[in-house]
Structure 1
Amino acid sequence: MERYDLLYRLYEEFDTETLREYQFFVDLFPPVDSRVALEHWEEASDELDQRKTAIREAFPAGTTFAEIAAYANREIAFTSLDLLNRYGRAVNALVLDVDETLRSAGGTDNEIPRETLYLLTEFHERGVPIVICTGQTLENVKGFMIQGLGNELVHSGTLSIVYEAGNGVFTPGHGSRTKQLLYEDLGDEIRSVFESVRTRVLSEAPEAVRRGCHLQGNEFNVTLKPNFETGSSDAETVIDRGLVHLLDLLGAAVVDVRSERDGADDVDPEIGGQWARTHYGHLDPEISEVLEAAGEMSDRDVEAIPDHVRELFELIDVGYYHADAAEISSLELNKVEGITAALDVLGIDDPFVLVMGDSKSDLRMMRWAEANGTGLSAAPEHASRDVLSHVMDTDGLTFKAGQSAEMLRTIYVLNLLARLE
């Protein structure tokens, strides 16, 4: 019988909704030091086992179908089967952004939900490595991952942390390869550009930007964040102004570094800023829209930018996140480089990953997965416009804020179904 027919039968003949409620209770509310609570948990566990046994006895490969019923509703199960039919293989690693993906300031009080953490431990138990990709520092990420998943899992040798958006990779349990500092391979010119921008970004900012923003990032990621509620009109205004300021600083730093290298006469910093506005406005429609709305779009021809300046621009990314952030980062240090380094340490030679993220830095991971046939992508519904566009154009895997567990359930069931091959 076709697997689709078996799934139809499963959800028609059995009360899978009640079964999932029992599974949820048993998984997430283990018995505490109370006799009454223990008795209640044991009763639920017995009832869960009876319901699963009925499914096990009714189906070939009944154990797998019992697990599917326990973790997925009808929609998730059929989505999982569609994905398996499309790609023909199981996911062998999870690549996960944290902020506004696994957790959401608006939906989960900025905590990774208990259900999400539990499902990650289930993937771990089934031998699926986890790669956490984030712009945060290693110390922050390591701390809350140990708190959420436990010290044993984090140090199991099957979890890797790509931190500071690709500055480094931390994979405990791998000897000399445990910590890789990817920034050590960057050239002196890139270092000089970022040093120049970082030291000047607030001190030389227009007053509205200086008062309305604070600085985040690291040596190779300079990010302006608003001192207002993300998404508000005040945040939009100050980030738009901050973007123009960053472009001007970047252009000035690039022409200064290249002029020094070539022994050429100094170029007017204002011209460097114009070149930066032209180059990045040409690359990114959102940046172009901001510049046009502010009356700051350069009228210079993109083809007129000197090659030696364009070459350095092409190693540096400018990111704009509406009413949230404006940043510059090194394209040689990004999440894709971090992922490939992490997968190499984890020994995954033929990756097929789930990429979950919400921002443009995550979009690079998604495009890498699609271009190389190495995975599929999912995003929260509030993700950036470009991320949502990519996800909807590929597999349409979206989830509501704070509901990352739903997507993990989809992949968990995909992997269960793949065992039936």
Structure 2
Amino acid sequence: MERYDQLYRLYDEFDAATLRALQDFVDLFPPVDSRVTLEHWQEVGDDLADRKAEIRAAFPAAGETFSELAARASRDQAFTALDLHAKYDRGVNVLVLDVDETLRSAGGTDNEIPRETLHLLTEFHEAGTPIVVCTGQTLENVKGFLIQGLGNELVHSGDLSIVYEAGTGVFTPGHGADTKRLLYDDLDADVRAIFDAVRSRVLSDAPEDLRRGCHLQGNEFNVTLKPNFETGSDDAREVIDRALVYELDLLGDAVVEEVGGDSEDADENAERASDWARAYYAEQDPEIRGVLESEGATPDCSSDDVPEPIRDTFERIDVAYYEADAAEIGSLELNKVVGVETAFEVLGIDDPFAAVLGDSKSDLRVMKWVAENDAGIAAAPEHASRDVLDHVIRTDELVFDRGKAGDVFRIIFALNRLANLG
């Protein structure tokens, strides 16, 4: 209980709230060409240093740690960190981070990663903690905003890896031949042929209302339709629901053509391809089933009616529905877990204890993977999907407000400081 008693004393005897405000001002104050303003910044820095010195003097054995805790973490954050340390007895040695609706939020941060969050990430980097950005976005999009937000030096430091398109590729600058790994190249030829067929038709064969209402995201492998409307809007929801049904039908056609196109029942199979795809994926995902019902596209068969060779192929292909955001076809053999494992391998992380931040079903797979392997903790924004929130609440209850990923980073900062005390 000694550590708990010390924390109680720290936050009872010292004005940690003012200390944090001073630290944030020093860390986040934008550079300005003003002598008066810079003098004020220096005064704040001096006040901060004096207050930290008082804490160091009050805690001779761990003063540096406690002065940094008070300056970086609130009382609740510090005690949460201490609870995590008591439970796991180790600190976080790698960050695994989703981007959209996790680090940034259209509803909370104007789709920009907050400056506080970016600064905290640079501090983790300077402390030697590798960062794995794990996203469904294209590589070029991710590289662009990371370089803009974190700087070219950090992105190309050799300690940052990008798992893009939800696990189809991994980009880790500074690692020679391992810098870019195209994981989809390892898939069987028949699966790659199915994706090629769907991609070649997805826009050209689309009804006019879909062509006008959505676009094909520029992925290297996955087939992702995104709305030409604001994400989350009623128009976006309507077009993505139609796009999901359309993609299921295309996928059914492509699978039947690749797997059952040479059979004696080829013509009959082609007629039933759409129903088979709808039935199979409706059984896999209640959200997909709900969309099919609302669109009047419920199949005239059950998943039990799908022929075994067709079903076996469906079992290798993922159809993901993100309400009012995207309809996507991907490979179940390529997901964020596979990408994260590859990133760890390239980064040389043999014994990971990761902090996984995310909001969607694809992030949940990584969260469950680290939980099953005693390899980390999970955190999610309060607006994450229900399954994600259920998992996070059942484990360590690390739920943060929209656009406030920095709150969890402060807990992790405190955890790592406490772990270093032994």
Match of 1:258 in 2: 259
Letter in 2 for 1:25: F
* Cα offset, 1:61, TM superposition: 0.6
Q: How does 1:8-407 map to 2 (within 5 A)?
A: 8-29=8-29, 32-59=32-59, 60-260=61-261, 265-407=266-408
* Cα offset, 1:66, TM superposition: 0.7
> Larger deviation: 177-186 or 13-22?
177-186
Deviation string, structure 1 residues 371-403 (Cα, Å, up to 9, x no partner):
222111111122223322322232221222221
Deviation string, structure 1 residues 250-272 (Cα, Å, up to 9, x no partner):
11111110024768734433412
For structure 2, the residue ranges without an aligned partner over 5 or more in a row are: none
Contact 1:215–1:222 (CA<8 Å) still a contact in 2?
yes
Letter in 1 for 2:91: A
Letter in 2 for 1:183: Y
Q: 1:261 to 1:95 in 2, by over 3 A?
A: farther
Contact 1:162–1:338 (CA<8 Å) still a contact in 2?
yes
- The 1-side partners of 2:196 and 2:110 are apart by 35
Q: 1:378 to 1:187 in 2, by over 3 A?
A: same
Deviation string, structure 1 residues 131-151 (Cα, Å, up to 9, x no partner):
111222322222222222222
* Cα offset, 1:341, TM superposition: 0.7
For structure 1, the residue ranges without an aligned partner over 5 or more in a row are: none
Letter in 1 for 2:147: I
Identity over aligned pairs, percent: 66
Deviation string, structure 1 residues 315-336 (Cα, Å, up to 9, x no partner):
1111111122211111222221
State the secondary structure of the residue aligned to 2:87. Answer: helix
State the secondary structure of the residue aligned to 2:181. Answer: strand
State the secondary structure of the residue aligned to 1:218. Answer: coil
* Cα offset, 1:55, TM superposition: 0.9
Q: 1:235 to 1:31 in 2, by over 3 A?
A: closer
Q: 1:350 to 1:262 in 2, by over 3 A?
A: farther
* Cα offset, 1:187, TM superposition: 1.6
* Cα offset, 1:33, TM superposition: 3.5
- The 2-side partners of 1:5 and 1:270 are apart by 71
Work out whether 1:5 is the aligned partner of 2:5.
yes
Instruction: Give the structure-2-normalised TM-score.
Output: 0.94
State the secondary structure of the residue aligned to 2:163. Answer: strand
State the secondary structure of the residue aligned to 1:268. Answer: helix
Contact 1:31–1:41 (CA<8 Å) still a contact in 2?
no
- The 2-side partners of 1:198 and 1:403 are apart by 37
- The 2-side partners of 1:29 and 1:38 are apart by 10
- The 1-side partners of 2:311 and 2:159 are apart by 40
Q: 1:219 to 1:119 in 2, by over 3 A?
A: closer
Contact 1:102–1:402 (CA<8 Å) still a contact in 2?
yes
Letter in 2 for 1:154: V
Contact 1:135–1:217 (CA<8 Å) still a contact in 2?
no
Contact 2:260–2:310 (CA<8 Å) still a contact in 1?
no
- The 2-side partners of 1:328 and 1:389 are apart by 25
Contact 1:353–1:375 (CA<8 Å) still a contact in 2?
yes
Figure out how many residues of one structure are paired with residues of the other and give that number: 421
- The 2-side partners of 1:253 and 1:37 are apart by 64
Contact 2:130–2:160 (CA<8 Å) still a contact in 1?
yes
Contact 2:19–2:70 (CA<8 Å) still a contact in 1?
yes
State the secondary structure of the residue aligned to 2:10. Answer: helix
- The 1-side partners of 2:156 and 2:95 are apart by 17
- The 2-side partners of 1:145 and 1:327 are apart by 24
State the secondary structure of the residue aligned to 2:318. Answer: strand
* Cα offset, 1:217, TM superposition: 4.5
Q: 1:373 to 1:35 in 2, by over 3 A?
A: same
Match of 2:414 in 1: 413
Q: 1:268 to 1:71 in 2, by over 3 A?
A: same
Contact 1:31–1:37 (CA<8 Å) still a contact in 2?
no
State the secondary structure of the residue aligned to 2:103. Answer: coil
State the secondary structure of the residue aligned to 1:95. Answer: strand
Q: 1:210 to 1:150 in 2, by over 3 A?
A: closer
